[in-house]
Amino acid sequence: MRSITCFLLLSCLYLNACAQEKKPDQNARQNDRKTPGYANIKIIKSPKTGRDTVIKTEAEWRKQLTPEQFEITRQKGTETAFQNKYNANHEAGIYKCICCGLDLFKSETKFESGTGWPSFYDKIGNHVTEAKDSSLGMERDEVLCSRCGAHLGHVFDDGPKPTGLRYCMNSAALDFVKK
């Protein structure tokens, strides 16, 4: 009798745990993009900032991204200059975050900086944020995706008019969609 009671109790606990896992987060919504890689990401409204925020575990990011993309976007890495996908891209379109698909830069704002990385003089709206970066013994302004927090690159004040800014981005952090 005791083993049956124990079995029933454990079964109830297991079923309750399964039911809890399947309940959607009240504040979460699924990304509606059909693009592979962006699918099945939970987006919540951050109580601190009021902005959409992507919720994913490290394992989920590793599953979605290539090792290079993961190292750059989630571990603040940098790709090799002049040996990346979008440095010499001159097609019209939009550059999106490789992690969550948020529009970041328009091709019209891309310029030849001579640095070996795709560079832009302006961003789209408030889709990127900046943070202080003191790594490598220097002070820089890191550029992050405002929705998923992906490390994209850095911004410098030596760009062309009209902004005077140079958003120096890692190609591996971007996804380009032609017009």
Enzyme catalytic residues: 168
**CA neighbor of 128 nearest in space, from 137, 120, 136:** 120
Other Cβ atoms less than 10 A from the Cβ of 154: the count is 19
Output the six-digit token pair for 122. 């302006």
If residue 75 lies in a helix (H) or strand (E), which one and from where to where? helix 67-75
Question: Do 79 and 165 contact (CB within 8 A), yes or no?
Answer: no
Q: What is the DSSP letter of 80?
A: P
Place of tokens 């902004």: 163
Q: What is the DSSP letter of 119?
A: E
* Conformation bin of residue 177: beta by default, left when phi > 0, alpha when psi is -120 to 50: beta
